[in-house]
Structure 1
Amino acid sequence: MSMPATSSDRAKVVSKLPGWLRQSLKVRTAQLGIEIQTAVEQGIDAWCDLASATASVDTAGAESFSTFLPPGQWEEFRSIAEDRRVSLIQGLAQSVQLWLDTNPAPDVQRPDVTRRIVVCNQKGGVGKTAITAGVGEALSEDPNRLFPVRVAKALAAALRAGDAQADASDTDTDPLDIEKLPGHGLRVLLVDFDPQCHLTNQLGAAPLAMNGDSLTNHMAGEPKGDLRDLLVSVDDEHFGGRLHLLPACHDAFLLDVRLSAVRAREAALERALMPLEADYDVIIVDCPPSLGLSMDAAAYYGRRRDGEGPGQSGALIVVQAEDSSADAYDLLTNQIEDLRNDLALDIDYLGIVVNLYDGRRGYIATSSLQGWIDIKDPRVVGLITDLKEQKEAVRMKQPLLSYAPASQQAVAMRALAREIS
């Protein structure tokens, strides 16, 4: 059946499609950035132009499906389906399948130069580890599935209002503020560069043994094996083998001492990780709360390389909406500026992430948030609320985006990943 649509010159059509085919249609149109009604229109046109019906499609369990088509197209389709002795449901299913077959999923867009994201702040306890993991998880999600993402305009509105729906008892976002988008499908390496091993522990891996090989040994020029042998895959079922972790070792507490004897020590992290870069699209480094030589090496690793555009790699600074984060921010940016000037480097700021935000804390939180927004350069690129799902995921030693994929924090992590992509 069909009836005129009041909002356009199209006609509303109600038929049926099997759930699996409708889901494939949703994913593919999202991947290609077109509307579902446009895809169905194109599929029906192509089906009607064929000399005969295509191979039969399994329509068992077909459920109600509606869309809007140009006036007269559905009537023409009905007539041709009748001539071919094909039911309307089968004809529509064949049309959609034909469109899918002729509009394949786009290839994952991989960077020409492996992106390096250095997640940092001299202050501990701001949630650098959670942001490192969340961004890496979001970038490695399945490109053939749809995930809820907070749209950019919603982030902007939240920042303007100084409010991130901080009611900790409510984990649901306003459906008007989110949309379903495909995962990025990127190959991501998370590097635990902190001797406290928080990222390693939170993702359920074991810290490396003190008497074995480690990133510290490779940076100090004393490797005991291939760094690849230390990598751990993170939740293959959810991330499809695209997300890996380089665990930390407590020997990193001595890294600054060992680096003091290394020539060109600011490049030590780059020398260690360079052999791994061909295997990954993005490498994200979870830095320790330190302003020592290790932070110099991390900042140097995130510098802009030849052939790399501005903002592809650089420092992502994690803060909280309170005064001590501002003091630590000044110390960190001064160190990066000194490194920029001393070595004539381009080190880009990817932005500021205000983490663990709770507007119920009143003036301290809201005024501090406004202070971060007022900086402008670097700008605030993420606002992550202080809710229970992240804490639960840490307790369960599971990635947040597989533990609670529809939670408000997971939705915000995906938005952050897109803001800095």
Structure 2
Amino acid sequence: MTTQATPEDRDKVVTKLPQQLRRELKIRAATVGIDIQDAVTEGIQAWRSADHPLEPINTARSDSFSTYVPSVLYRGFRDDCSTRGLPYNQGLAQAIRLWLDAHPLPQRTRPVTGARRVAFGNQKGGVGKTALSAGVGQALAEMGFRVCLVDFDPQGHLTKQLSHDHLPIKGDSLVKNMCGERQSDLRDLLIEIAGESFGGRLHLLPACTDGFLLDAKLVTSREIRVKETALEKALAGIEAEFDFVIVDCPPSLGYAMDNAIYYARTRDGEPEGSSGIVIPVQAEDSSADAYQLLREQIDSLCDDLEIDVHDLGFVVNLYDIRKGYVVTSSLDNWQSLGHPEVIAVVNDLKDQREAVRMKTPLLVHAPDSDQADVMRSIARRIAA
């Protein structure tokens, strides 16, 4: 049970903890939906009640950690550490490990309507579709979901950022599967993305430069409605493997985007908001102009095909308040729309750029950064 203590009844806990333990605590608390201070409180309570010696925790390479716990509990805990002959930080580390062990990652049940599908789309380039697709996918994998990142942009930025090459032009690809030229099982093209916190749950479907030919191939197809449904048909064979399929869309208003929008629609029997589209934007006018074009495309497709596409929200990316009135007033405009709502603001910090440069997932390169925490926040909103 979460301890209901007012801020005045709490003392600040300041100590040092192993980096990995702090990271596990942050991710697990977010996953199960509890404040870190309440998770630590529950851990201390369990530690004080333990009727057997606990395994020591390696506290080497520790970093600063602080939170708040109820004052009475805190004083009793410190006394208990002294009585048991344990350093305070060792006792706290054991308490946190007890809480983590009592709250494992939840077992995820596959949705009966198939994997939940999220498209990150905006026809304007450079707004951060790739960074957000990758970061949110990584955060979902941390939370225990099996995630497939689909690089649907023939430029292949997502593939390159995760340190992989384009699929060879003469081999199999997503586009060939979409256009009836399949050479092998699409699952054979999937690549596991390494990361201790991903637990083998994060995979990439790489891009191929044949994606530049997709619109031309689809427009000449004689199959009814293949122009909008080809992506869904191609990915149907891998959906059973995943909880989420994240599509990094190209900066285009062509048939590729039509396919991504159709793929992210609300399917029959699927709860509203389980799937949908996230729209990355920046706090400037050209993003607003691009959104209007995308809005028209979504509405037109919904009318023509009689489908519903849920707006999961805007993410205002690369926000830098130092740029003054232009960005602050633009952010106000995005927030004033009301629907779709702004679900996150991502500050323009160096961590993402460094991760791209290092060709390393953000949540591996800088797992404790502010940008990583925002990705986790977006993932929680999408997974709710």
Question: Could you state the TM-score of these two structures normalised by the residue count of structure 2?
Answer: 0.80
* 8 Å Cα contact 1:321/1:365 also seen in 2: yes
Residue 152 of structure 1 is matched in structure 2 by: none
Q: 1:338 and 1:354 mapped to 2: Cα distance?
A: 25
Query: What is the aligned residue count?
Result: 359
* 8 Å Cα contact 2:155/2:209 also seen in 1: yes
Residue 368 of structure 1 is matched in structure 2 by: 330
State whether structure 2 residue 156 is matched by structure 1 residue 210.
Answer: no
State whether structure 2 residue 44 is matched by structure 1 residue 40.
Answer: yes
Q: 2:270 and 2:45 mapped to 1: Cα distance?
A: 41
Secondary structure of the 1:129 match is: helix
In the TM superposition, what whole-angstrom CA distance separates every residue of 1:295-340 from its partner, at most 9, and x where no partner exists? 1111010011123211111111111111111111011111111111
Unaligned residue ranges in structure 2 (runs of 5+): 1-5
Q: 2:350 and 2:7 mapped to 1: Cα distance?
A: 44
Q: 2:299 and 2:335 mapped to 1: Cα distance?
A: 21
Identity of aligned residues (%): 46
Query: How do 1:344-383 residues align onto structure 2 when only pairs under 5 Å count?
Result: 344-383=306-345
State whether structure 2 residue 247 is matched by structure 1 residue 285.
Answer: yes
Q: 1:6 and 1:288 mapped to 2: Cα distance?
A: 47
Residues 304 and 404 of structure 1: CA distance in aligned 2, closer, same or farther (over 3 Å): same
Residue 234 of structure 2 is matched in structure 1 by: 272
In the TM superposition, what whole-angstrom CA distance separates every residue of 1:52-97 from its partner, at most 9, and x where no partner exists? x53664478799x9965869x969x98xx9xxxx94659x89x959
Secondary structure of the 2:240 match is: helix
Residues 187 and 55 of structure 1: CA distance in aligned 2, closer, same or farther (over 3 Å): same
State whether structure 2 residue 212 is matched by structure 1 residue 253.
Answer: yes
In the TM superposition, what whole-angstrom CA distance separates every residue of 1:126-180 from its partner, at most 9, and x where no partner exists? 1211111111111112xxxxxxxxxxxxxxxxxxxxxxxxxxxxxxxxxxxxxxx
Q: Using the TM superposition, give the Cα deviation of residue 418 of structure 1 relative to its aligned residue in structure 2, in angstroms.
A: 2.0
Residue 103 of structure 1 is matched in structure 2 by: 102
Q: 2:212 and 2:239 mapped to 1: Cα distance?
A: 25
Q: Using the TM superposition, give the Cα deviation of residue 399 of structure 1 relative to its aligned residue in structure 2, in angstroms.
A: 1.3
Residue 157 of structure 1 is matched in structure 2 by: none
Residues 345 and 96 of structure 1: CA distance in aligned 2, closer, same or farther (over 3 Å): same
Query: How do 1:223-234 residues align onto structure 2 when only pairs under 5 Å count?
Result: 223-234=182-193
Q: Using the TM superposition, give the Cα deviation of residue 43 of structure 1 relative to its aligned residue in structure 2, in angstroms.
A: 5.1
* 8 Å Cα contact 1:139/1:417 also seen in 2: yes
Query: How do 1:310-349 residues align onto structure 2 when only pairs under 5 Å count?
Result: 310-349=272-311
* 8 Å Cα contact 2:46/2:99 also seen in 1: no
Secondary structure of the 1:420 match is: helix
Residues 310 and 87 of structure 1: CA distance in aligned 2, closer, same or farther (over 3 Å): same
Q: 1:26 and 1:202 mapped to 2: Cα distance?
A: 27
Q: Using the TM superposition, give the Cα deviation of residue 411 of structure 1 relative to its aligned residue in structure 2, in angstroms.
A: 2.3
* 8 Å Cα contact 2:261/2:309 also seen in 1: yes
Q: Using the TM superposition, give the Cα deviation of residue 22 of structure 1 relative to its aligned residue in structure 2, in angstroms.
A: 8.2
* 8 Å Cα contact 1:17/1:59 also seen in 2: no
Residue 3 of structure 2 is matched in structure 1 by: none
* 8 Å Cα contact 2:106/2:144 also seen in 1: no
Paired residue type of 1:334 = E
Residues 198 and 7 of structure 1: CA distance in aligned 2, closer, same or farther (over 3 Å): closer
* 8 Å Cα contact 1:29/1:36 also seen in 2: no
Residues 386 and 7 of structure 1: CA distance in aligned 2, closer, same or farther (over 3 Å): closer
Residues 97 and 230 of structure 1: CA distance in aligned 2, closer, same or farther (over 3 Å): closer
Residues 59 and 206 of structure 1: CA distance in aligned 2, closer, same or farther (over 3 Å): closer
Paired residue type of 2:249 = C
Secondary structure of the 1:116 match is: strand
Secondary structure of the 1:279 match is: coil
Residues 323 and 257 of structure 1: CA distance in aligned 2, closer, same or farther (over 3 Å): same
Residue 132 of structure 2 is matched in structure 1 by: 131
Question: Relative to structure 2, which stretch is displaced further, 285-294 or 16-25?
Answer: 16-25
Secondary structure of the 2:318 match is: strand
Paired residue type of 2:205 = L
Question: Could you state the TM-score of these two structures normalised by the residue count of structure 1?
Answer: 0.73
* 8 Å Cα contact 1:29/1:39 also seen in 2: no
Residue 54 of structure 1 is matched in structure 2 by: 52
* 8 Å Cα contact 1:318/1:353 also seen in 2: yes
2:366 to 404, 409, 412: 404
